[in-house]
Amino acid sequence: MAKTAQAPAKNVPDLDVQRILQLTGISVFFGWTPFILMRCFGAAGSLASTEFIGLIALALASAYLAADFFSGFVHWLADNYGSENWLLVGPGFIQPFREHHIHPKEIGEHDFIRLNGNTCLTALLALWWATLPTYTPANAGSVVFFGIFWTGVAWLTMGTNQFHRWAHTEPDHKLIQWLQQNYVILNTKHHDKHHQAPHTKAYCITTGHMDHPLRWLAFFPILEWTIETLFRLPPHHKRSQEAAQ
């Protein structure tokens, strides 16, 4: 009898390894944040109180918009480029985004570690950037602004999957409902646009605010055209549509 050909093994790490990485990301994230904030408030002594408060307000407002943009960019990238079989990145980021189109409600069943571990790992890069300005009395403003800005981006990035989950599960908590209804965080009505085939709209999943200027600028279609023109690599949604025809 002829032997049945076996499919090649996927380059996917053991689930325990992925879990350890997620736990590590969460632990480092929550452990690192207080030290960065202490550094920022330590620099406040070199600034006038009004300047310090103004820098914090500007940094937080900027972080609010930047985090939403980053969530959309990463979402678009994972939806359209790369392989689910790539080591660590495939099962940790690409596969969950693409499977989510098929099983959108499954995100409501994830535990805290699975829901937030990968976003905490991603947010560590922002926390690292928050530490980069070297402190001197003359540089105190930069230390405060970039420290608060990147810490804000990190925390909003960490919260993105939770906001995303609430957009699918429609929780009963009145505060969450108020935040969604007032467009402070991602809401169901806006996010539903992404779940309409071919899943090429409303990529931003922290608040959704940046989807409007990005759509007006045709930001993602221009990026896709550029990548396809230079590297002959069409986006995943285009390849899927062509395969279905």
pLDDT of residue 3: 44
Angle at 163 (CA atoms; ends 24, 153), nearest 5 degrees: 60
**Angle formed at CA 131 by CA 126 and CA 135, multiple of 5 degrees:** 150
pTM over 0.85: yes
Summarize the confidence of residues 106-121 as an average pLDDT.
92
Lowest mean pLDDT among 8-17, 64-73, 162-171: 8-17
Owning domain of residue 189: 15-244
The tens digit of pLDDT for each residue in 172-187 reads 899 999 999 999 999 9
Judge whether 173 lies within some domain: yes
Please check whether residue 224 lies inside any domain of the structure.
Answer: yes
9 within a domain of the structure (yes/no): no
Q: Is residue 66 situated within a structural domain?
A: yes
Mean pLDDT within 137-162:
97
Q: Residue 190 falls within a domain, yes or no?
A: yes
Residue 81: per-residue pLDDT: 94
Q: For residue range 69-95, list pLDDT tens digits in order.
A: 999 999 999 999 998 888 878 888 888
Triad 34, 32, 91: Cα angle to 5°: 140
Residue 108 is classified by DSSP as G
Residue at 95 is within a domain: yes
Residue 133: cis peptide before it, omega within 30 degrees of 0: no
Give which of 44, 192, 25 is closest to 116, Cα–Cα: 25
Tokens 């990145």: give the residue.
89
pLDDT band at 15 (very low <50, low <70, confident <90, very high): low
d(CA 38, CA 27): 18
In a domain, 228, yes or no: yes
pLDDT at residue 6 greater than cutoff 60: no
Q: Is residue 240 part of a domain?
A: yes
User: What is the tally of structural domains in the chain?
Assistant: 1
Q: What is the pLDDT of residues 154-172, one digit of tens each?
A: 999 999 999 999 999 988 8
What φ, ψ does residue 114 adopt, rounded to 5°?
-65, -35
Distance CA 32, CA 211 (A): 31
d(CA 88, CA 13): 7
